[in-house]
Amino acid sequence: MGANPDIASLSHLKKASVLLVIATAIGVIGGVFNFYYYENSIVAIVSFILILIAIPFLRKAFQGFLQTGKNVGNGITGAKILPWGFLLIAIVGIIAVGLAVKYGGVYTTGVYDNKNILNDLENIAKVLPDQPLYNGSNALGYLANQSLEKYYEYSLGGLISNSKANYYYNQYEYYSNLLSEYNHVNSSLNRTGISPDITFTQVVSEFHTISTIASIMPILIILGVILEFVAGALIGLSIYNVGRFYSSILTWISGILIIIPFTAFVGWILTYAGVDDIVNKLTGRSMPMQPGYQQPYSPQQGYQSPPQPMQPTYQPYQPTPQPIIVYQTGNGQLTEDGKAVFSLYSNGQIQIMSASIDNTTIAVGPDKIIPQTLSQGNNSVMIQFPPLANLGFIKQKMYTVTITLSNRQSIKVYVIFT
């Protein structure tokens, strides 16, 4: 059969739409603002991988459409931008996974961004820089008791106060407060699985590192979402134009949904269905009525005698002839002077009996058609309709021409009015 660039482009678009349905759907499920959780980070990475697989198919589809005169230049630009948006969000996912692996529960439970815990740790680290976490209670309790003993020593049993006694009492209160802060911090850190052997200075340093890295992540997410939106708008507009070109309602609605955030996955589902609709238009045909066919009895048509059984006849065996298949290849054009030019593929020889423009009264017989007989293979066909100027035909709009063949088969041909 002859090569059909339209069907090839539609095939690429269909493959891309399957992958993009999955990628955009799991992106919505994961939620672009929840990458502080390990599972959603994995979702972002998987979504990016699917996008990388889908983009080549999408580019091939738009490049094919562009070569056959469709307005899809924006889609090619969008296909270039889209991976970068997903890449930024995937980077956030990779960072989140890395932080979760390195710092465990400190990151995944969100303890690192609790400013009160960080302040408490910084205060304790000033007093116990090299002490491990597990020894915090004993160390602070010891310092508090020592200060209290010094207070009693310099205040003569607490009866006479002086500057040294006041100093040690203040120290006692300070260490007691730190002990209270430690108890609060320790209860939070116990939920994270952080090693109790780490020193207070080390844990403060790690908290600052995590906080600095994590502060970049929302910026990357916002930039990624913006790029995804711009790319989706450009791609959706091009698919909308394809749908309008082929008069496919499913496809142009899908283009609109792809533009709207969080409905893109629905748009790609409709794109998949719309591609089938367009392919059926390009290759679809009404099957010819078979010889000897009888209309079945229908009560709605009034009383008719039931069909009589056909008497068997015995004839010598004859091979069943191959059915003639005819379909359009490439794009057709229709000009103001009424000339329609297009290509048809036929797998056998067959005559063209008539041609008409759908939704009009314009029709011609075989004397206005060149050639009148299709040969096997690709055929360049020219039909001379009456002049179409001032008849309401719209430039760049696609019109449908119905071709009737000698075997009573009808096929649809799509032409652009220029």
The CATH number that applies at residue 373 is 2.60.40
In a domain, 319, yes or no: no
Q: What confidence category does residue 33 fall into, taking pLDDT thresholds of 50, 70 and 90?
A: very low
Most confidently predicted of 74-78, 193-197, 311-315: 74-78
In a domain, 304, yes or no: no
Question: Do 114 and 51 share a domain, yes or no?
Answer: no
Question: Do 96 and 132 share a domain, yes or no?
Answer: no
Question: Do 351 and 395 share a domain, yes or no?
Answer: yes
Question: Do 156 and 137 share a domain, yes or no?
Answer: yes
In a domain, 159, yes or no: yes
Domain that holds residue 356: 324-417
Most confidently predicted of 107-121, 216-230, 301-315: 216-230
Question: Do 99 and 133 share a domain, yes or no?
Answer: no
Question: Do 96 and 219 share a domain, yes or no?
Answer: yes
Full-model pTM: 0.59
Q: In angstroms, rounded to a whole number, what is the distance separating the alpha carbons of residues 46 and 72? A: 28
Question: Do 240 and 184 share a domain, yes or no?
Answer: no
Question: Do 39 and 64 share a domain, yes or no?
Answer: yes
In a domain, 67, yes or no: yes
Question: Do 276 and 339 share a domain, yes or no?
Answer: no
250-290 pLDDT per residue, tens: 998 999 999 987 888 899 999 999 998 888 877 754 334 34
Q: In angstroms, rounded to a whole number, what is the distance separating the alpha carbons of residues 150 and 4? A: 96
Mean pLDDT of 99-117: 74
pLDDT recorded at residue 392: 86
In a domain, 27, yes or no: yes
Question: Do 92 and 144 share a domain, yes or no?
Answer: no
Number of domains in the chain: 3
Question: Do 96 and 14 share a domain, yes or no?
Answer: yes
Question: Do 226 and 91 share a domain, yes or no?
Answer: yes
Copy the structure tokens of residue 35.
């990458």
In a domain, 72, yes or no: yes
In a domain, 301, yes or no: no
In a domain, 202, yes or no: no
361-398 pLDDT per residue, tens: 999 999 999 998 999 888 999 999 999 988 889 888 88
